[in-house]
A and B are shown apart, each in its own frame.
Chain A
Amino acid sequence: MSLEGKRILIAKPGLDGHDVGAKVIALALRDAGADVIYTGLRKSPDYIARVAVDEDVDAVGLSMLSGSHNEIVSETLLHLKELDASDIKIFVGGTIPRDDHAGLREAGVSGIYTSDMAIADVLKEIELELRNA
């Protein structure tokens, strides 16, 4: 399996400044063949949505450790919708409590990857999700 030809935006929304996880996943995605764009720290949901549209990515990975994932996800989805880009998939990674998973999925998140998961498993799931796209 490979992510060759897939474009993925890794974004750091909100105020937390820890992007080791985002960078690790960005490199892992690249090594799986994807073209990865990284936004840098502290980006707003409307900025992320706009970059996702300009770059015409297949998916956006939101890396969040701040606890504000519910708000950020719903805003990002809203902005994507406004830009007529609801076809772009959203993945969420970082510190996401179990209790919030169902709600996020319901809102339209395609995959949730917490920091206790093995990178290989994360890649496998993303590949599956994007292959069906």
Chain B
Amino acid sequence: MSGGKLNNRRKMSQALSRVANASVVETLKNQKELPKETLYRIGITGAPGSGKSTIISNLVSKRVDNGSRAAVLAIDPSSPLTKGSILGDRIRMDSVSNDPNVFIRSIPSRRSHDGLADNTADLLWEMEGYEFDEVILETVGVGQAEYSVRALVDTVILVLLPESGDAVQAMKSGILEMADIYVINKSDLPGAELIAAEINEIVSRNTYSSNEWKPCVLSTSNHSVESFNALDEAIDEHREWIKKSIDKEHERRSRVRYQVQSLINRRAEELLELMSLKEFDGRPKEVYEKLIKKLLIK
């Protein structure tokens, strides 16, 4: 590892801590300019225990072999009671976390309930400009309704398990409509083919025009390193498609929209936490107006 890159790594690491510890006001004050070329973002989401971290480990190892420098942002849930967390994703990424071309940062979800952390957008923003090529975002283990990751990344990968047949029925709306790539993980277990067929059926029921991305359905297993080749290639394919087909400005605007919304949410939370119980006397309308007034104070 060259000295320059090492310094960069420590710099990024400390910058991420600064952003993580900053209030909304500080975040906005210190927000940097984005470089012209921004990092390619891959989001991996799925139920708890579906193997997201393991998939990332396998995927990162392939992408680094192909000369990419990858940064991983892995989110684990915070306890709503103590605010503490055990950030365990990294244990599953053991085989790659010693690679100097891989940077892994574990972050707590804090106040957020949408599968991301309440400051994910700000952290991703801060990761720009440190000589990485792509960033892989691992969400908290989610159900069907948490699809905020769509707003922040280029490629969304949804990880499913062979036994999640009934869940798929329930997921027909929600995250199941949002993914670019579906991965049936632990595909050596019984039921894998059945669920792959079900997802394929759901996907092919939709009609896609020639300039639309048709999601692909893949199977992976930790017992077969080769099974991750197809995933690696599918990501590259989707990336190529995005380059040709996605309106960059539109994408940029929708990310800004999400980021502004999460900043407002956080600011409201910060202010609500400072308010005494007494201030919640009165009707919702009055309390709401009180809060709005506080929001306006710089």
- A: residues with CB less than 8 A from B are 2-5, 7, 26-27, 29-40, 47, 50-51, 53-56, 83-85
Contact = CB atoms under 8 A, between A and B. Distances in A.
The bracket for how many chain B residues form the interface is 20 to 34
Closest 9 A/B residue pairs (Cβ): A30-B84, A56-B13, A40-B91, A56-B17, A33-B84, A37-B87, A35-B85, A35-B108, A4-B83
Nearest to B102: A54
Contact of B86 (A30, A39, A83): A30
A35 B21 CA distance: 13
Given A35-B78, A39-B91, 14 more contacts: A4-B84, A5-B21, A30-B82, A30-B85, A31-B84, A34-B84, A35-B84, A35-B85, A36-B87, A51-B104, A53-B9, A54-B104, A55-B106, A84-B10
Interface in B99-127: 103-108
Contact of B84 (A32, A47, A84): A32
23 contacts: A29-B84, A30-B82, A31-B79, A33-B83, A35-B78, A35-B85, A35-B87, A35-B106, A35-B108, A37-B88, A37-B90, A38-B88, A40-B91, A40-B94, A47-B97, A50-B97, A51-B90, A51-B104, A54-B9, A55-B106, A56-B17, A83-B10, A84-B7
A83 B6 contact: yes
A47 B86 contact: no
B14 interface: yes
Nearest to A84: B10
Contacts of A38: 86-88, 91
A48 to B, nearest CB: 11
A36 to B, nearest CB: 5
Contacts of B7: 84
Residue of A4, A36, A39, A51 contacting most chain B CB atoms (<10 Å): A36
B161 interface: no
Contacts of B207: none
Contacts of B86: 26-27, 30, 36-38
A44 B97 CA distance: 13
Nearest to A51: B97
